[in-house]
């Protein structure tokens, strides 16, 4: 069995792309393609489906990916153990986050302390970020509202407060409001799967507050633009505040209006030197 071919397959399975797999392995894309073609031809099986937009695993590919992921993760752990006493001069860290605001100061501190470390940052919603971590496409993840679970190490970060986002000239600008004041107010909100939206909806349901949702938007930036256009009141977390002079964030008083943020990694990988260093940086901020 050719380990170079398995390593190429594992990289494509993790990255979902021949181009990113080549970058991960520091080899050319044709080399990655050649390794996988040789693997498929030797064993007379199809492991990947290539479409115009992405690469998908076949059923056999999915089964093999589970084996190679575990195999090469153990190899990485063995290498980390053997190099534990070496200074962090080089390396690559895969980071996932459900928003840029908290992770960017961590990356800045990592860059300052370990300038030779290369970071690949994946941004997505809460579900995508957790999935990237549990499938080992990310080494560490900065997440919101994740429940403790077996095999997952979680380190708490500072919580954030739910705020209403209003136009700069709005009568509420510059003051805190009660959640009850949002009853029957016209609002522009993130999609229901957003953590901030979920926290807000749960608090509203618990207190009988019923906002009038005019628009559901798929990004914080879109909510800001809608509020600036005076289409309604938005909801944001206090860690997501922009410096847009057209809008003002107003603290909302009430029960259950707090998001708990955390950084996590797989429990069995928390002592890997790069992961341990990043967790230490997050704890110091």
**CATH number of domain containing 273:** 3.40.190.10
Regarding whether 274 and 203 lie in a shared domain, the answer is: no
Regarding whether 165 and 153 lie in a shared domain, the answer is: no
- Cα R_g (the chain), whole angstroms: 22
Token pair of 169, please? 């000239």
- Residue partners of 245: CB distance under 8 A and separation at least 6: 168
Regarding whether 208 and 184 lie in a shared domain, the answer is: yes
Written as one string, the DSSP assignment of 170-203 is: STTTTS-EEGGGGTT-EEEEE-TTSHHHHHHHHH
Regarding whether 142 and 174 lie in a shared domain, the answer is: no
> d(Cα 182, Cα 184) in Å, to the nearest integer?
6
Total residues belonging to the chain = 285
Token pair of 112, please? 């300052």
Whether the Cβ atoms of residue 191 and residue 267 lie closer than 8 Å to each other: no
Regarding whether 190 and 227 lie in a shared domain, the answer is: yes
Q: How many domains does the chain have?
A: 3
Whether the Cβ atoms of residue 154 and residue 109 lie closer than 8 Å to each other: no
> d(Cα 213, Cα 210) in Å, to the nearest integer?
9
Phi-psi category of residue 130: left, alpha or beta, with phi > 0 → left and psi -120 to 50 → alpha: alpha
> d(Cα 35, Cα 15) in Å, to the nearest integer?
16
Regarding whether 209 and 277 lie in a shared domain, the answer is: no
Regarding whether 164 and 154 lie in a shared domain, the answer is: no
Regarding whether 250 and 165 lie in a shared domain, the answer is: yes
Regarding whether 285 and 149 lie in a shared domain, the answer is: yes
Q: Which of 53, 82, 111 is the last residue of a domain?
A: 82
Regarding whether 63 and 94 lie in a shared domain, the answer is: no
Q: Which of 82, 111, 140 is the last residue of a domain?
A: 82
Regarding whether 149 and 122 lie in a shared domain, the answer is: yes
> d(Cα 18, Cα 1) in Å, to the nearest integer?
21
At residue 13, the pLDDT reads 93
Regarding whether 272 and 239 lie in a shared domain, the answer is: no
**CATH number of domain containing 235:** 3.40.190.290
Q: Mapping DSSP to helix (H, G, I), strand (E, B) and coil, where does residue 207 land?
A: helix
At residue 35, the pLDDT reads 95
Q: Which of 82, 111, 129 is the last residue of a domain?
A: 82
Domain region containing 227: 160-258
**CATH number of domain containing 69:** 1.10.10.10
- Residue partners of 2: CB distance under 8 A and separation at least 6: 35, 38, 39, 42
At residue 85, the pLDDT reads 47
Please identify every stretch of the chain with a pLDDT value under 70, giving residue numbers as ranges: 81, 83-87
Q: Mapping DSSP to helix (H, G, I), strand (E, B) and coil, where does residue 72 land?
A: helix
At residue 84, the pLDDT reads 56
Chain CA centroid to CA 229, Å: 29
CB atoms within 10 A of CB 59: 10
């Amino acid at each position: 069995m050719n380990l170079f071919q398995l390593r190429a397959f594992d990289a494509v399975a993790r990255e979902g792309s021949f181009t990113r797999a080549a970058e991960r392995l520091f080899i050319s894309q044709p080399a990655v393609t050649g390794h996988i073609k040789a693997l498929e031809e030797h064993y007379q099986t199809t492991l990947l489906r290539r479409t115009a937009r992405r690469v998908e695993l076949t059923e056999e590919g999915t089964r093999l990916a589970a084996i190679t992921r575990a195999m090469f993760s153990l190899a990485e752990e063995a290498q980390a153990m053997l190099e534990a006493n070496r200074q962090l001069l080089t390396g690559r860290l895969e980071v996932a986050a459900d928003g840029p605001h908290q992770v960017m100061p961590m990356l800045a501190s990592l860059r300052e302390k370990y300038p030779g470390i290369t970071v690949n940052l994946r941004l997505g919603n809460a579900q995508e970020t957790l999935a990237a971590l549990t499938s080992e496409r990310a080494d560490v993840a900065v997440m919101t509202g994740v429940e403790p679970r077996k095999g997952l190490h979680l380190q708490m970060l500072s919580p954030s407060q739910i705020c209403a986002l209003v136009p700069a000239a709005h009568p509420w600008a510059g003051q805190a409001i009660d959640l009850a004041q949002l009853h029957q107010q016209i609002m522009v909100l993130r999609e229901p799967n957003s953590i901030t939206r979920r926290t807000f909806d749960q608090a509203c349901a618990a207190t009988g507050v019923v906002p009038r949702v005019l628009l559901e938007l798929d990004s914080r930036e879109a909510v800001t633009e809608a509020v600036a256009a005076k289409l309604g009141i938005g909801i944001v977390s206090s860690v997501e505040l922009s410096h847009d002079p057209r809008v003002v964030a107003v603290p909302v008083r009430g029960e259950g209006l707090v998001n708990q943020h955390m950084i996590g990694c797989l429990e069995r990988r928390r002592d890997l030197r790069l992961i341990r260093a990043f967790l230490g940086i997050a704890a110091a901020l």
